[in-house]
Amino acid sequence: MARLGHKKSRNGCQRCKARHVKCDEARPCSNCVKHHLEKECSLVTGNPPVGLPVKRQPISRPPVERISIPEPLKTPPARTSSAPSLSIHYVLNPPPTAPPTSTGSNASSPQSQNDTYPFLTRFFHRTDSSQSAFTARDLELMYLSFVPFYSSTRLTIPRHHWTISTSQTMSSREDVSTYWAVEGPKLAMPYPYLLQELLALSALHKANLEKDQRSTFYALGVYHQDLAIHEMRARLPTLNPDNAGAMFATGALLSMGVFASTGMSASHMERSLGKPRSSIDALLDIFSLLQGMYSILNQERPNVATGPFRILIEDTDEDWVDPKQTLFDDLENLLPSVQAFIEAQSLPWTTRSETVGALATLRTCLHDANRPRATTREIRFLFFWASRNTPTFFSMLRSKEPAALVVLAYYAVGFAIAEGRYWYMDGWGPRILGDIAEILGGQSVWRPVIQWPWEYVHRSAMKKDDGLPRPQQPHPFDLRKLRTA
């Protein structure tokens, strides 16, 4: 279908120009009226605004931590990592390594046997803890033009990629997306971990969009994500009201980033190395991260709610509603039958209790995600269920207990629902259901109960044409045989 044209707005107000939206040139314009900013519209006042307004109290920002940048290297240094897909000069002449910008106790070191934060450590892609020196200037360069590399070769990122593209995928709420685009980079300046994760997510988003440069941007993304994790680990022991908001924001972005990087690794990188790692095990590592971050950062939620990052956790005060996800209702209506099926099996008491409990949590999270005024419903469901289950249930998943895998199959339908709106969830549904079908496909007692999630995810995958691997028939879980069983 041809795109509908519209008359260009060359004399619009400055606020509409800054937001890249069409202005109707009324005095005041309708967009300013909509946001109750009539008196500040430049078509009325004649004065351009300094920046997009955000309804919040003025904040004082701590000074930027200055880190010296060493001279560029003309030749790549020796590496200790052997992962073939994680080259940064490896891809484009690596930045020189320097001592860590922050010091911490041995308990916070990735090499420590008494690792305080194992849920973070498992996402390191490099075996050493040294990192490139980095300052807020690097994010300013990305924000204004490009990310420089320490060589004559530069990997360019299209102008304002974070501002006009990646930030718009963070939430279904326009005000939150605008916040990430305009205020996010500014507020991140004093916090190296948040800066690095902004860069990481932007690079991973580019990897998702540009197939011909996917491996290059993937390497850049996991490189910056490693630095973000390192910085975050070093500062978690000193979590306080001043940095709680930045830590919370970094945790939110990191949760998206690990879904993106792990998914890309499984879909595109590990295929050249043979059989990829179990998607179920990879997902459980992400669950561990979500639970670990939640347990640490939730105690600072009151401080986040009163600080500059409060928009990330507060409900909108505007008359706007994210459309209800009707597929969640369909999924919730199936759960009583799933529970009855599981309870009819001969299972140990602990297995039965944990499985029924996980189903109850699934039902609660579906209901919560569909409540009035809830936003980003699909991500809310996926993240909440992952952070609310018990270690015993996750151990059952790790050991591939059939009853637990049945619950996971219905949860994985959420990935198929989310893929259409959130790029970092691409491919997770087919991979998880594919692994479950391989395990349970030969066990006739469990095949009927996973038929619905398999069919739904399979149909959703077939509708896409993005180069990701898709489950093919015949499969260990053959629907044609199942219907006649």
Q: Residues 22-42: pLDDT tens digits? A: 887 777 887 777 776 777 787
My answer on whether 273 and 394 are in the same domain is: no
pLDDT at 51: 40
Compute CA 471 distance to the chain's CA centroid, rounded to the nearest angstrom.
Answer: 24
Q: Is residue 22 part of a domain?
A: yes
Q: Is residue 19 part of a domain?
A: yes
My answer on whether 421 and 349 are in the same domain is: yes
My answer on whether 382 and 414 are in the same domain is: yes
My answer on whether 176 and 255 are in the same domain is: yes
CA 280/CA 278 separation, integer angstroms? 5
Q: Is residue 72 part of a domain?
A: no
Structure-block tokens of residue 411: 């949860």
Bridge-partner residues for 97, per DSSP?
Answer: 132
- Name the domain boundary from 252, 283, 312: 312
CA 455/CA 119 separation, integer angstroms? 33
Nearest residue to 357 via CA among 396, 331, 398, 303:
396
CA 447/CA 406 separation, integer angstroms? 9
Q: Which pLDDT tens digit goes with each residue over 429-473? A: 999 999 999 999 777 789 889 999 998 888 877 766 544 444 433
My answer on whether 158 and 274 are in the same domain is: yes
Is 317 within 8 Å of 375 (Cβ atoms)?
no
Domain that holds residue 223: 89-312
- Name the domain boundary from 271, 288, 312: 312
What DSSP letter does each residue of 334-376 carry, written as one string?
HHHHHHHHHHTS---HHHHHHHHHHHHHHHHHHHHHTSTT--S
Q: Supply φ then ψ for residue 201, to 5 degrees.
A: -65, -35
Structure-block tokens of residue 469: 């691997």
Q: Supply φ then ψ for residue 321, to 5 degrees.
A: -135, 130
My answer on whether 407 and 288 are in the same domain is: no
My answer on whether 272 and 351 are in the same domain is: no
My answer on whether 219 and 97 are in the same domain is: yes
pLDDT at 361: 96
Q: Is residue 320 part of a domain?
A: no
Q: Is residue 341 part of a domain?
A: yes
My answer on whether 42 and 170 are in the same domain is: no
My answer on whether 42 and 98 are in the same domain is: no
Q: Is residue 319 part of a domain?
A: no
- Name the domain boundary from 277, 312, 347: 312
My answer on whether 116 and 12 are in the same domain is: no
Is 396 within 8 Å of 390 (Cβ atoms)?
no
* Dihedral sign for Cα atoms in the order 412, 315, 49, 188: negative
Q: Give the chain's residues under pLDDT 50.
A: 2-5, 48-112, 127-159, 466-485
State which H helix or E strand residue 137 sits in.
helix 136-144
pLDDT at 9: 59
pLDDT at 272: 58
What Cα–Cα distance (Å) separates residue 182 from each residue in 12, 15, 163, 176? 20, 12, 7, 10
Q: Is residue 222 part of a domain?
A: yes
pTM over 0.85: no
Q: Is residue 80 part of a domain?
A: no
Work out how many domains the chain is built from and give that number: 3
* Dihedral sign for Cα atoms in the order 17, 5, 30, 160: negative
My answer on whether 371 and 475 are in the same domain is: yes
6: left (phi over 0), alpha (psi -120 to 50) or beta: beta
